[in-house]
Amino acid sequence: MTKKTISGRPIIAPSLLSADFLRLEEEVKAAEAAGAGLHHVDVMDGRFVPNITIGPFVVEAIKKAASIPLDVHLMIEEPERYLEDFITAGADYLTVHAEATIHLDRVLNRIRELGALSGVSINPSTPVSSLENVLYAADMVLIMSVNPGFGGQAFIPNSLNKTKELKAAIKKAGSKTIIEVDGGIKPGNAAQVVKAGADVLVMGSAFYNSGNYKKTVEEVMRSVSGKRR
Ligand code: DX5
Ligand code: ZN
C-alpha cells in the first residue's frame, strides 16, 4: 500500500455516511471535483456506537473509485481485530477510538507497521490529556465534536477548547500530528474550528445534503481565509 500525502489547509474531508449509497462512485468523484482532500469513511459496529454502517468490502469498493486518500474512522470495539482488513481494503489514514481499545499505544504503532497513517479519536467526554503519552505514535488526532453514531447532529461548543488544548499539546511535544474535527461542521462554524487549530474538517450532512458540493467547499474556504493560525 502506498501512503498518499495530503496538502493544503484546511483539508475538507466529506463523510460518505451522508452520501447517496446507491450512487457511491459518482458521489466519490463529485466530492473530489468539488475540492475534497480526503474521503472520510465512518465504520460503526452497533456496539461502540448504536448504529451499524459499513465494513472492509465497501471500503475496498470506495478505494477503486477514489483518487484521493481514504480517511477511515473506526467506531468499533476492539479495533485491533480489524486493522489489517481495513488497511488491505485501502485505508490511508486509519483512526481508532481511544475508548475502544485497552492497548492504544500498541494499536497505533501497529497501524504504522501495516503501512497506514495512524489516527486516534476521542469522544466529547474524553479529555485531551489522555492522549499525552501517545501523541508520538499518532499521525492524526480526531476530536469528536458530536457523540459518535450519527450524521446531522449539532456541534458541541466545548470541542473548540479541546482543539486548542490539543494544538498546544502537539506543539509542546514537538510532534507532527495533525488535528481533525468531526461532527456538526458547516460553512457557518468552520472558521472557528480552523482558528482553534483544526487541519482537517469532516463534513457529512453539510456537504452531501448541500445540493452544490463545490459551492460548499468554496464557502468554507472563503470563511476561513485570513483566520488561520
Ligand atoms: C459521526 C461520524 C461523523 C459524521 C459527521 O459519528 O463520525 O463523521 O458522519 O456528520 P455531520 O457532519 O453531519 O455531523
Ligand atoms: Zn467520522
Tens of pLDDT along 38-49?
999 999 999 999
Q: Which residue has the higher pLDDT, 73 or 225?
A: 73
Atom 9 (ligand 1) nearest CA? 151
- Find the mean pLDDT for residues 169-196: 97
Task: Please report the pLDDT score of residue 2 as a whole number.
Answer: 42
Residue type, 32: E
Position 63 pLDDT exceeds 90 = yes
How far is CA 168 from each of CA 151, 196, 204, rounded to the nearest angstrom? Answer: 29, 10, 27
Tens of pLDDT along 84-126?
999 999 999 999 999 999 999 999 999 999 999 999 999 999 9
Q: How far is the CA of 95 from the centre of ligand 1 (A)?
A: 14
Q: How far is the CA of 41 from the centre of ligand 2 (A)?
A: 7
- Catalytic annotation, residues: 42, 182
Position 128 pLDDT exceeds 50 = yes
Task: Please report the pLDDT score of residue 213 as a whole number.
Answer: 98
Give burial (CB, 10 Å; 0-12/13-18/19+) of 205. middle
- Find the mean pLDDT for residues 172-185: 97
Task: Please report the pLDDT score of residue 9 as a whole number.
Answer: 81
Give CA–CA dist 115/93, Å, rounded. Answer: 10
Q: How far is the CA of 225 from the centre of ligand 1 (A)?
A: 24
pTM here?
A: 0.96
Task: Please report the pLDDT score of residue 7 as a whole number.
Answer: 65
Q: At what angle do helices 213-224 and 24-34 cross, to 10 degrees?
A: 40
Atom of ligand 1 nearest to the CA of 205: 13
Binding pocket residue ranges, ligand 1, CB within 6 Å? 15, 17-18, 40, 42, 73, 146, 148-153, 182-185, 202-206
- Find the mean pLDDT for residues 2-6: 54
Average pLDDT over the chain, rounded to whole?
95
Task: Please report the pLDDT score of residue 5 as a whole number.
Answer: 57
